[in-house]
Structure 1
């Protein structure tokens, strides 16, 4: 496992990904690196100082030596269910796209990604807490903002975020809608030139990038839910997603070309918003107030 993560670290630094795990590893690392490039210098120094304390988490098989590795720590620890099984529902919220947008039911008890983005921002901002708590909060925050900006973690049709929707991705058979967005489509979108954390932001003006930082987790959740509703399901099914019965549909090349800019801008928004949260928590000492969704 350690050898695998060392290889992953090298791959993340080069931003090379395999389609099967492109968003889980490559996409999360991309969002986190966009944020690290965007934050204030003093925020960057604070992030690196906390990452240097990663041994305090005592998760040797899931190190957080780099921002890329830290961004996938929350997925890595799924292999430690006795310690971290409680965190499994925190990666998604799956608001039904066929009903009015409502975070209340999926966020009951704070068990959704939006609630956990805010919770971990608050923990990170509280300098009275033990360093280990703040290091863990940083790792969770780096990951969960990425999850929030993967639309299949935000909207679904009571099908486990598209995991139960069998599909073809072009000529690739035997996959599902969630895997397409987590893997094949993510890899294609983030490597399409100009790719990587620097290249992917070049298509946006400074005013646009700053504008992406506006809003809060409810706004961002609704936005990604809308992407799921307006793009992910309709393009795959070629029909109204709430009134369609299609067996193993095919996402065509034309559909993929339509979705690439949608996925790219979602990742850029995630990076900008993560940067804002990190600046606020680590330097300004501010974070979202506790709320009930």
Structure 2
């Protein structure tokens, strides 16, 4: 039997799903905590020094003074408006995902036009962090965005798409739980991530150097392709005999399917944390 989440949390997860929906806070915070535990000591000092200036972001409603807080800052600021009622961070909406079709060859060209996708922004944020001449506010913002976006990239439905807004339009049941608005994206964002992260052993720990090297290998483009492939093979492939056939009115993730997906989701969280640590070491260590 699948362990349910608290009722209020379940409602929140379903209600907030969107193409750029949060890789639920638990996922982002766990990835940030894994990274913090695995960066070099010098990098950890530099991160804390930058986040000590998080007040420069002028978002008192959305804290970013720790890595855990910063990991969800990019989602927290989405609804903020300026004095004229205009969105302060609307320009960053498309930076949380990249809708790469799982039914065509992998190609970031169109989804990342003008740098408006998650992988392009990760690269941009690393470059900003490396530039010690950049304004402090810009570097703090880049750090908060980077911590969040690496998490987004490792939620496969932020990297692969079937003309359904990354699974948001694919209604689905999670075990016996199947409210009308529940969809495939929100399941991967929340329910599946929660079960994967809470399964033993704890994910937040110092990993051996060999594991850090193995899971941290590759480039941002490599990681994009990998997450896109997982979207095809696991996110869609686990519930459809052919991921590219028309999606039925409602998908069903039964207990056996969920059990098979837990280690997939769990590995993505580990990869996200160790790859974030790698990028932070490169930029700040």
TM-score by length of 1: 0.86
- Gaps spanning 5+ residues in structure 2: where? 1-7, 14-21, 82-86
Report what 1:157 is aligned to.
Answer: 162
Question: Do the aligned residues in 2 keep the contact of 1:169 with 1:251 (CA within 8 Å)?
Answer: yes
Structure 1 residue 94, shift from structure 2 partner? 1.6
- Gaps spanning 5+ residues in structure 1: where? 1-16, 284-293
Structure 1 residue 206, shift from structure 2 partner? 3.7
Confirm or deny that 1:93 pairs with 2:81.
Answer: no
Confirm or deny that 1:188 pairs with 2:195.
Answer: yes
Report what 2:16 is aligned to.
Answer: none
Match of 1:261 among 260, 263, 272: 263
Q: What is the DSSP-based 3-state SS (H/G/I as helix, E as strand, rest coil) of the residue aligned with 1:235?
A: coil
In the superposition, relative to structure 1, how do residues 246 and 78 fare at CA in structure 2: closer, same or farther (>3 Å)? Answer: same
Q: What is the rounded CA distance, in whole Å, between the counterparts of 1:162 and 1:57 in structure 2?
A: 32
Confirm or deny that 1:212 pairs with 2:215.
Answer: yes
In the superposition, relative to structure 1, how do residues 246 and 282 fare at CA in structure 2: closer, same or farther (>3 Å)? Answer: same
Structure 1 residue 244, shift from structure 2 partner? 3.8
Runs of 4+ in 1 over 6 A off after TM superposition: none
Equivalent residues in 2 for 1:1-293 (5 A)? 18=9, 20-21=12-13, 23-80=23-80, 82-174=87-179, 175-198=182-205, 206-237=209-240, 239-283=241-285
Q: What is the rounded CA distance, in whole Å, between the counterparts of 2:203 and 2:43 in structure 1?
A: 22
Q: What is the rounded CA distance, in whole Å, between the counterparts of 2:24 and 2:203 in structure 1?
A: 15
Count of paired positions: 262
Compute the RMSD of aligned alpha carbons: 1.6
Question: Do the aligned residues in 2 keep the contact of 1:148 with 1:221 (CA within 8 Å)?
Answer: yes
Q: What is the rounded CA distance, in whole Å, between the counterparts of 2:247 and 2:263 in structure 1?
A: 27
Q: Which has the higher helix share?
A: 1
Q: What is the rounded CA distance, in whole Å, between the counterparts of 2:38 and 2:90 in structure 1?
A: 32
Q: What is the DSSP-based 3-state SS (H/G/I as helix, E as strand, rest coil) of the residue aligned with 2:178?
A: strand
Question: Do the aligned residues in 2 keep the contact of 1:24 with 1:182 (CA within 8 Å)?
Answer: yes
Q: What is the DSSP-based 3-state SS (H/G/I as helix, E as strand, rest coil) of the residue aligned with 2:65?
A: coil
Report what 1:288 is aligned to.
Answer: none
Which whole-Å deviations, capped at 9, do the CAs of 1:236-265 have from their partners, x for residues lacking one?
23x101124422121011111101110111
Structure 1 residue 18, shift from structure 2 partner? 4.3
Question: Do the aligned residues in 1 keep the contact of 2:215 with 2:271 (CA within 8 Å)?
Answer: yes
Q: What is the rounded CA distance, in whole Å, between the counterparts of 1:264 and 1:222 in structure 2?
A: 18
Q: What is the rounded CA distance, in whole Å, between the counterparts of 2:42 and 2:221 in structure 1?
A: 28
TM-score by length of 2: 0.88
Question: Do the aligned residues in 2 keep the contact of 1:63 with 1:69 (CA within 8 Å)?
Answer: yes
